[in-house]
Amino acid sequence: MRNIKIEMKKYLLLFIITAFVMSCSKKVEVKGKITGSSPLERIEFVEASGVATLPLINIGLDKNGNFTGSFEAPKDGMYVINYAGRQNLIYLEGGQNLNISGNAMTFPNEFVVTGDAKKNNDFLQASQKFLSEYGSKINIQQLMSGDEKTFLKGAQKIEADINKNVEDVAQKNNPSKGILEWKKNDVKVTILNLLANYEMSQRQMSGNPSFKVSKAFQDYETKLEENKDVMVKTIPLYRQYLLVKMSPDFQKYAEAKTKGKTDMITSEVFAQFLKERKEVSQTAKDYLLAFVVAQDIHPGAPAKNTEKVKKIIDTDITDAGIKADLVKMQVAVNGVKVGEPAPEASLIKADGKSYQLSENKGKPYMLFFYASWNPYISEGTVPVLKEVVNFYKSKMNFVFVNVDDSKDQFVKTSSALLKGIPGTNVYGEKGLESDIAKKYGVYGFKLPCFVIVDKDGKIASRSFVNLGEQEVVTILDKLTGLSAPKVEPNIQMQPGTMDPSVQPVNPQPAPTK
């Protein structure tokens, strides 16, 4: 596990991503208008306190900037709004109807909420504004360089000042009990991270790795951690704090445990380390291990490592919700497990007739997931796809799965973008909310993506986002018996490189997604 560093100057400017109060899953109905927006922009909502930061919904805007949608809110609490590469926080409760308005130039840094969520989010925005202004006035470096007694006095004053503002803003806005209690825990976590940073800085300055803070310091930490399990569930920065505190001991443990071994992954070692920490609750162990497991889930991970991660999720994590989130994350990152039957899903053609993936059985095929609003379609994906299809079409099929918001948009998109490319054009009804998108782990951030299926209808590859990867060509060659011209690893293939008679000149790096 890599050392986790905390940036001192940003403590009081950070507004902790979190959530509070477990509740029955209920729908949130959301609508709004972003003035001056582009129809290509999308709005996403993500549960902020979860272990897998996957979008709960991806909503398109019309030509006037209007949007509408609904999604299941796993918890009453904090959610992230993503828009045009920017993000901000919003507090939501299941069963709410809310309206969000803003301007494309400043949204979501600035927005107005009306409806059921108004009071909570007026409170939230007022708190954010105070933290920003207050944090800019604090000399963190001076506070950190003082003696321990002076530092503790300063930290306690900061806590008192923020809590006073919380009470003042609460009286004015009358927020719900859930967000008010969350905010009080949020303040405690902010101070705990300040204390952890001071302890680390003193250890470094003293040159003594065994440096210990005083009993008064430790008592203050204990007081702030009265709601440990609530904070570990709802405040990601508290999980980071615990990992920072554990880091020195874990480093020693890992060095001893992995000595002479080269095949142990971090999750594996950390799971064993946590088993010996009797003072850590099972709730904390689940969330901390999930954080580390998430770092071991990445594209191209060896199959044996993927299996190790799966075993850790199954045996060492007890929380069913965390297990489910991590499994979703695995599918989102790598796709359906290689060797498993390709999941069937509800698909339709432009003429309205239904389509089954099993119609390809007996011949390998590639699934190409795309949407018209995704910018990477216009940056070279289609020309490269055309080259791949033309080279392999005699030995395999191609199924182009559109995940636009409507069937009308699918018809326009498929006839325009994929004109002249041999293959079957189909639509996943409801787009990113479709049956096929969910079964294959397709999200907006992952488009376009590609999955290869063998002649027996079994998954033959992980999910790819770059057709130029050598691994893709290797799999296609193996399934078809053809032999494509070699390309440099991680280089986006240019039009013409699949034609053996054409030699690529000065191949360019793949565009960064």
Looking at the chain, the whole-number percentage of residues with pLDDT higher than 90 is 75
pLDDT at 301: 83
- What residue ranges in 287-413 does DSSP mark as E strands? 347-348, 354-355, 365-370, 397-402
Of 379, 437, 380, the closest CA to residue 403 belongs to: 437
The order of strands in the sheet holding 354-355 is: 354-355, 347-348, 424-427, 397-402, 365-370, 449-453
CA 353 – CA 349 distance, rounded (Å) = 5
pLDDT at 336: 95
Q: How many residues does the chain have?
A: 513
Mean per-residue pLDDT for 54-80?
94
Class at the top of the CATH hierarchy for domain 347-480: alpha beta
pLDDT at 510: 35
Strand duo 354-355 + 19-35: pairing: unpaired
pLDDT at 426: 98
Of 78, 85, 107, 94, the closest CA to residue 30 belongs to: 94
Confidence of residue 487 (pLDDT cuts 50, 70, 90): low
Is it the case that residue 195 has pLDDT exceeding 60?
A: yes
CA 63 – CA 46 distance, rounded (Å) = 24
pLDDT in tens, 223-276: 999 999 999 999 999 999 999 999 989 999 999 999 988 889 999 999 999 999
Mean per-residue pLDDT for 435-454?
95
pLDDT at 167: 97
User: Could you tell me the two tokens for 165?
Assistant: 């503002």
- The whole-chain average pLDDT of the chain stands at 88
pLDDT at 300: 78
| CATH number 3.40.50.300 is the correct assignment for the domain at 9-135 | no
pLDDT at 380: 73
Angle at alpha carbon of residue 480, lines to 479 and 481, rounded to 5°: 105
pLDDT at 340: 96
Confidence of residue 15 (pLDDT cuts 50, 70, 90): very low
Contacts from 292-295 at CB under 8 Å and sequence distance 24+?
292/1, 292/266, 292/267, 293/267, 293/317, 293/326, 294/51, 294/52, 294/326, 294/329, 295/1, 295/266, 295/267
pLDDT in tens, 1-12: 444 333 433 333
- With beta carbons less than 8 A apart as the criterion, state whether 186 and 235 touch: yes
User: Do 9-135 and 347-480 share a fold?
Assistant: no
Please report, for the chain, the start and end positions of each structural domain, with discontinuous segments joined by +.
9-135, 176-334, 347-480
Looking at the chain, the whole-number percentage of residues with pLDDT higher than 70 is 89
Q: Model-level pTM?
A: 0.85
Mean per-residue pLDDT for 141-167?
94
Mean per-residue pLDDT for 148-152?
94
Ramachandran sector of residue 466 (left: φ over 0; alpha: ψ -120 to 50; beta: rest): beta
Name the β-bridge partners of 88: 81
pLDDT at 410: 96
Mean per-residue pLDDT for 83-103?
94
Confidence of residue 493 (pLDDT cuts 50, 70, 90): very low
